[in-house]
Amino acid sequence: MSTTKTHDDVATMEAAIQAYIDAGNPLEVPRSEIAGWIVFHGLYDVPYEDKLKKCGEEVAKALNKASVTNARGNKARRFLSARLDREDENGNVKQKPLWDLTESCSAYFAHTAAEQMRNCIAGDCRSLNNTVVYANANNLNLADDQIQIVFDFTTDVNEQ
| Tens digits of residue pLDDT in 105-131 | 999 999 999 999 999 999 999 999 999
For residue 8, the model assigns a pLDDT of: 57
pLDDT beyond 60 at 6: no
Cα–Cα nearest to 4, from 51, 50, 47, 33: 47
pTM beyond 0.85: no
What percentage of residues in the chain have a pLDDT greater than 70? 94
The 10s digit of each residue's pLDDT in 53-107 is 988 999 999 999 999 998 888 899 999 999 999 998 899 999 999 999 999 999 9
Nearest to 15 by CA among 47, 43, 40: 43
CA pair distance 25, 43, nearest whole angstrom: 15
Half-sphere exposure for 5 (CA within 13 Å, toward CB): 14
> What integer pLDDT is reported at residue 27 of this predicted model?
85
Tell the burial category of 110 from Cβ atoms under 10 Å away from its Cβ (0-12, 13-18, 19+). Answer: middle
Question: Vertex 22, ends 21 and 26: CA angle to 5°?
Answer: 30
Residue 102 and residue 75 in contact, taking contact as beta carbons nearer than 8 Å: no
Q: In a 10 Å sphere around its CB, with 0-12 CB exposed, 13-18 middle and 19+ buried, how is residue 113 labelled?
A: buried
Helix (H, G, I), strand (E, B) or coil at 62: helix
Tell me the residue ranges of DSSP E strands in 6-92.
67-69, 75-77, 79-87
